[in-house]
Structure 1
Amino acid sequence: MDTKLKNYHKLTEVIVALVILLPSLAMMIIRPHYIRQQNKQENLSFTESGLLNQLVENCYVLYGEELQSKNNNTLSAYDMFFSTGETKTAESTSSETTDSQDYTDIDSVVYDMEEKYNDWQSDFSHLRTYLEYDVLDGESKDIIDTNRGSTEEKNSLYTALSNMRTRGVLDEDSEYAFAAIVEYNENGTVKSTSFLSQQKGAESQMLNEIAKQNPTEEFSDYYNFRRTFQKPQSRIYCFAMINAVLPDFLESDYSYYLETGSYNGDLLVLCLALAGFVALGALLLPFVQPLQTGEEKIFHTPFEIIFVTGICAISIAESILTDPSALNTQAIYNVLTSIGTPELPATILQYTWGLFGWIALFAVVYWTVGCLRTMLTMGLKRYIKKRVLIYRIWPWLCKLCRNTYDGLLHINLKDDSNRALLKIVLINFIILGFISLMWFFGIGALVVYSIALFFLLRKYLRRIQDQYQLLLEATNELAKGNLNGTIPEDLGVFEPFREEISKIQTGFSKAVDEEVKSTKMKTDLITNVSHDLKTPLTAIITYVDLLKQEDLPEEERKRYIQILDQKANRLKILIEDLFEISKATSKTVTLNIMDIDIVSLLRQVKLELQDKIDATDLVFRWQLPEEKVILPLDSQRTYRVFENLLVNITKYAMPGTRVYVNMENTENHVKIIMKNISATELNFNPSEITERFVRGDSSRNTEGSGLGLAIAKSFTELQGGRLEVLTDADLFTVEITFLK
């Protein structure tokens, strides 16, 4: 049984090989033979090629070379074809416009004519090595005879073609593949034209029509140019190509002059028929049970690989079969013969190389159809599940697309956007790369991709607009004064603005709190100023009324005057403090900055207040540096700061306690620290005690203006320092810091 299976297996291999090999052999033999037949001269259709136009342009180039030779190469293209032949400049020619001209951009005409003539020269230079040409004057005398030698040695090309010219065709034994003659009379008018080949056709008439045309007609449309193009005068131009040169010319890079488009796709039709034979074999052979083919692993290839391979094979075959010149240079044959290999082995190897190419192509056809045949046996639904990779990775692709889409919706505008842009460009590059692999099918894929991209971008833009609307609603709420509003939904690309809106809400809330606090302080200011001014003023009025009594004892009178003096001084101090704090707050204080020894200044304040200090039951502990500490300060304002703080201590410190006054001198700053135990409970906010009219005793029973700490803080900050109040239970601490 195993032997029988092996025999069937070998038979299957032989049959499959024959199904692929036979069409390959057919194409290997037929294609070169067909191309050779198509390249024969009798199949050339000169009326459909660009050769006739090129021959007329060659006449203009030869005419221009003749004029240049006579004028020592001083003529421009404009001078040669729009003047009588003399050397002229662009400036002189600009004055020769006719009265019929409305406007002419002569510089542009000169430039365009030069470009056109350069193109004619370039094209003619390609043909010179393949063409024989001759130029004669009106009396049929040679002017140029480059390829046939002097007239004494050989007849001119014109003479050689004269006999055949009368019949309109070349002799069958003629050495020429084609020939052309263009004659101009003394006025530059085309006198006659002839095009000769071995097949009589309408080429001569077409050549005549082309020669009569004005090659610069577009100048009149573009520049309103009316001068007449001067064609050659009293000249006969002859061109010919010999049969021996024609094959080389057809294989050259310049064969496009004779490209006629006469190939009608016969090879493509034949190849499709043979490919159909191979496809039929791939479909039918698996149904022959003994062969047991069609289920090999090679036919289990995923659909995407089959599709790409098939498209590539179709594109390669189409390019080879519709362009017979493709892969027709016989490179292997040329290389082998150049190194001395006999022609027969070189030809066999060249054909073998072509056979392998066709075997590969038809093998791809057999394999592709064999893979797709399983779609019939498995069913479309099962085939898609088992053999289509995109179906397997579709959930992953969907997730990737969603993540990418969400990532684009949540681009952090604070970060560098180059990464996001690079991701978008890379995705687009991959998609367009796959589309470009589809060749002519890529146009349809590009249309589908463009439509899909449009809907995707529209959805993306609408999502951005919705997120922007949410952001706009939040800012409108903020503008209405709702400082506690929140944004519950996702803002996507505008998500960083959520934090900024929170900062704005916090800033507005702080500003509102500050405004409320300021309003309260203004109210308290009015209340406190009224109270503090009213108290001594009331006492003054009262004692003044008492002094008016005539029977008032002298001792009482003196006591009342002393009280009046105290109340008046207190009222004076209060008013002065009000002026001081007002100027300090409005920054209108003029500072007299100089280098002062802050240690000596603090000691001076101590001496000045020694009487008040001694009158209290407080024990002061002074820890001041022995050396001088020099700082750029206003001595008067700094003195006032220390004075206010020490006076404040004498008023509010608990009797019988110790007071600590320290000074720290560091490399960067100087810090003065004053600590004392408060006589009353410190139940206030330390940051508010330095405000105007704020006292530690809320009952305001102690004597003072309530501006001491406020003045001290203002004067300290005006000089670039910092004053901080700290409390810890009943411990009251003031820290003054001056930077060096």
Structure 2
Amino acid sequence: MDTKSKNYHKITLIIIALVILLPSLAMMVIRPHYIKQQRGADGYNFPFSASNLPDLLVESSYVLHAEEIQGENQTTMMPFDIFFPYEDHGDGNVDEDDYSYDEPWQWAADVTNDMYDDWSSRFTFLRPYIEYEVTDAQSKEIIDSNRGSDKTENSLSALLSDYQKNGVLDADDDYAFLGAIGYGENGNINFTSFISHEQTNTSQVLNKSAKSNPASNYDEDYGYNKEFQKPQNRIYYFAMTTENLKALKSANSSFIHQVNYYTGNHEGDLVTVLATLMGIVAIVALLLPSFKFFTWKKEKIFAVPFEIVFAVSCTVIVLALAVAYNSDNLSQQAIYNVLTSIGSPELLANTLQYLWGLFGWIGVFTVCYWTAGCARRIFVLGPKTYIKESVLVYRIYPWMKKQIERIIQSLLHVDLRSDTNKILIKVILINFIILGFISLFWFWGIGVLIVYSVVLFFLLRKYLRKIQDQYRLLLEATNELAKGNLNGTIPEDLGIFEPFRDEIGKIQTGFKKAVDEEVKSTKMKTDLITNVSHDLKTPLTAIITYVDLLKKEDLSEEDRRKYTEILDTKANRLKILIEDLFEVSKATSKTVTLNIMDVDIVSLMRQVKLELQDKIDATDLLFRWQLPEEKVILPLDSQRTYRVFENLIVNITKYAMPRTRVYITMENTENHVKIIMKNISATELNFNPNEITERFVRGDASRNTEGSGLGLAIAKSFTELQGGRLDISTDADLFTAEITFLKQ
């Protein structure tokens, strides 16, 4: 950077420093001078009629009246007994121990005593600075604050009478004011008078204050309608010298303060001056960077988020305007008072107090310059770019939007099957936080609350409409289901009704299963009629045929014997078919009576093998038996279990491919016993393994082999009746039957 640029930087810094320092020095000079001019030499910028002095004098008359009553009775009477002498409390006094607040007067007594304590406290502070005198209606002196002193030769009543001739005090009089309040027989106000250097209506204001009723709200607030008893037949005179008034202000400058703040108040002019200076500083901050030779390399100080700039500037500028508007703000010279109290030199205390104020105004105008510099970026970057780069709310808007949507979605997807307390607590907590934030706006919170209510209305309306749409989708799905459409789907989100999607799916699955079962049952009934008709008709037809042949007279003995054997065979087959049908019917209806006993299933299998050995030998099959050597005892019905094994082995001898191996194994585990039978089928296994165990279903669809089609159905029924399970599976031409019995 060249020397010329450095010089421009220095000049820029000097200009900025002067722009901030000069208005600060101006406020340090203007404000104290303006306040002093407004308040005048005695420190007041308001007339007595606009102050609380009339109220102080009336309160002082009440205190003097109470002291007079207490002095006459030689006792400390409670204020309530003095100003409301209507209640009989037994001992003539209202004691704090008597307050149980069962009666209206007890509430009124408590409030009256507290109110009198405030009057007495203020009069105690005022007493050293004020002169007072109390006379009766005949001007007989009752109380005189100057009695026993040589402060004045004349009574206050005489002085007031003399001054009333002119209406105002002379400029060289020692007294700042003289006042009087005259009470009649019933406590009514006979007259009020107030004389000072001012030509104001203070006497009328004093009269209005004296006529007011301190207990005007007792009837409304406590239901106590007795009248407040003011002093009777007494005139109260008050006076204060100019010297004492200054001493009173030095002791407590706010003791006599302005009641009507806007009466004679021109401190708004100082606000105008401050606002003008701030405007000048802001204009310089906006225009100075426009000149190329007035550059400053610290421009990043103005790239502060908008929210921070707004909060800091509002706080500082509002405080500055408040200090300028009210002369009492920051006018107590706290640093000066503290330093002088600990013995610091007055020059040092004054200097530090001045520097404190100067630094304060420098801070105010620095913030003003900084705020204007930050606002300038709006014109440099453009509103859109400024919002994107400097507004935090805009940056976090996507996150806030996402969180709000997440909350709304969580409310739209309430699981009605679970506990909703957490959702309710969350909603109440969010509403509590929002209302708590709104309450920070005080009176303006009403407007914010209205906006919040409007926004809440539209959000709830949107929420309810969404629920209505979701409910409509649910109704459409149930209507489709009612029409018999079991394949209908709900493509959209159901929100809080989302759990019903699974329930509707279960209903659809249940209906489909029921329909499939019904179709299967109908098919089974049809197959049952067809197969039974076929299987019964075949032997029956043969029996009828051979019976007709036997009826021939010329039949030879050899043919007769041959026909008789055939008839016996067909009759036995018909018998077995009917018995099997009867057995499977009983098993299906669960009307079979089981004879459960401890059975050695290994021995039972060997017995089946032995009795079927002839049939096994008649085939070309190679049986491979793998049975445990030890006994395997199970609680079974031996007859029905025998029938299960028999049917399965017979089934193998019928349908296994000749000259193949058959494997029969028994597995004995800790929890169950499993019997596995495997063989290679002679025909293609193109049937459903789950249907082969149904009644009259045969692997030989052409039904060329002997059999009723009930063997596997009987085996399955008897196995399940005993708590076991029969599973049929196929793998290409491999047929596998597995029987499983659980150990008890």
TM-score by length of 2: 0.68
Give, in whole Å, the separation in 2 of the partners of 1:630 and 1:351: 111
Q: Does 1:228 align with 2:226?
A: yes
Distance 1:646 1:394, change over 3 A: same
Q: CA separation in 2, counterparts of 1:400 and 1:719?
A: 65
Partner of 1:580: 587
Change (3 A) 1:686 1:674: same
Give CA-to-partner distance per residue, 1:172-214, whole Å, 9 cap, x none: 9999999998887886767777889875613322212322762
SS in 2 for 1:355: helix
Structure 1 residues 44 and 713, CA gap change in structure 2 (3 angstroms): farther
Asked if the contact 1:644/1:708 (under 8 Å) is kept, the reply is: yes
2:211 match: 209
Equivalent positions of 1:583-732 (< 5 A) are 583=590, 597=598, 600-601=600-601, 603-604=603-604, 606-607=606-607, 610-616=610-616, 617=619, 619-627=622-630, 629=632, 641-642=644-645, 644-714=647-717, 716-717=719-720, 721-732=724-735
CA distance in 1, matches of 2:623, 2:298: 103
CA shift digits 1:7-37 (9 cap, x unpaired) = 8876665555444333212211332344456
Question: Shift of the alpha carbon at 1:733?
Answer: 1.7
CA contact (8 A) 1:79 1:86 kept: no
Q: Specify the code of the residue in structure 2 equivalent to 1:228.
A: K
Give 5+ residue unaligned stretches, structure 1: 89-105
Tell me the TM-score normalised to structure 1 length: 0.68
The answer to whether the 8 Å contact 2:587/2:721 transfers is: no
Task: Summarize the Cα distance change of 1:227–1:562 in structure 2 as closer, same or farther, 3 Å threshold.
Answer: same
2:32 maps to what in 1? 32
Is the 2:601–2:632 contact (alpha carbons within 8 Å) kept by the matching residues of 1? no
Which residue in 2 is equivalent to 1:350? Answer: 353
Which of 249, 268, 271 does residue 268 from structure 1 map onto? 271
1:128–1:56 Cα change, 3 Å: closer
Report the counterpart of residue 327 of structure 1 in structure 2: 330
Task: Give 1:567's aligned amino acid.
Answer: L
- AA at the equivalent of 1:20: I
Q: Distance in 2 between matches of 1:78 and 1:674?
A: 116
The secondary structure found in structure 2 opposite 1:673 is: strand
Give the whole-Å Cα distance in 1 for the aligned partners of 2:441 and 2:736: 84
For structure 2, the residue ranges without an aligned partner over 5 or more in a row are: 92-100
Deviations 1:519-577 (A, max 9, x none): 23323224314632674378559748976987788856687467445523531331232
Matched, 1:293 2:300: no
Q: Counterpart of 1:736 in 2: which secondary structure?
A: strand
Distance apart, 1:343 and its partner CA: 1.8
Distance 1:466 1:301 in 2: 51
Q: CA deviation at 1:646?
A: 4.4
Match of 1:84, SS state, is: coil
Contact 2:31/2:270, CA 8 A, preserved across alignment: yes
Query: Which deviates more, 56-65 or 521-530?
Result: 56-65
Contact 2:667 2:674 in 1 (8 A): yes
Q: Which residue does the alignment assign to 2:512? A: 512
**1:355 Cα deviation (Å)?**
0.7
Report the residue type matching 1:340 in the other structure.
G
Distance 1:732 1:293, change over 3 A: same
Stretch deviating more after TM superposition (316-325 or 616-625): 616-625
Per mean C-alpha deviation after superposition, the further-off stretch among 50-59 and 209-218 is: 50-59
In the alignment, is residue 316 of structure 1 matched against residue 319 of structure 2? yes
- Paired amino acid for 1:22: L
Offset of residue 328 of structure 1: 3.4
Given that residues 183 and 232 in structure 2 are in contact (C-alpha distance below 8 angstroms), is that contact kept between their aligned partners in structure 1?
yes
Taking only the aligned residue pairs, the percentage that are identical comes to 44
- Describe how 1:442-461 pairs up with structure 2 within 5 A: none
1:366-381, aligned counterparts within 5 Å? Answer: 366-369=369-372, 380=379
> How far 1:581 sits from its partner (Å)?
0.7
Q: Structure 2 vs 1, CA of residues 137 and 195 (structure 1 numbering), >3 Å: closer, same or farther?
A: same
Distance 1:457 1:324, change over 3 A: farther
Asked if the contact 1:131–1:239 (Cα under 8 Å) also holds between the matched residues in 2, the reply is: no
Would you say the 8 A contact 1:602–1:642 is kept in 2?
no
Query: Relative to structure 2, which stretch is displaced further, 275-284 or 399-408?
Result: 399-408
Quick one: structure 1 residues 413 and 663, their matched pair in 2 at CA, closer, same or farther if it must change by over 3 Å? farther
Aligned equivalents of 2:710, 2:190: Cα separation in 1: 120
Cα-to-partner distance string for 1:189-244 (whole Å, 9 max, x where unaligned): 6777788987561332221232276222324xxx9x57435546769899999744
Structure with greater Cα Rg: 2
Contact conserved, 1:178 with 1:195, CA < 8 A, in 2?
A: yes
1-structure distance, mates of 2:717, 2:674: 17
Q: Which residue matches 1:570?
A: 577
> Would you say the 8 A contact 1:46–1:203 is kept in 2?
no
1:359 equivalent in structure 2: 362
In structure 1, C-alpha distance between the alignment counterparts of 2:178 and 2:386, rounded to whole Å: 63
Would the aligned equivalents of 1:311 and 1:438 in 2 still touch at CA under 8 Å? no
1:116-127 correspondence runs (5 A): 116=111, 120=115, 127=122
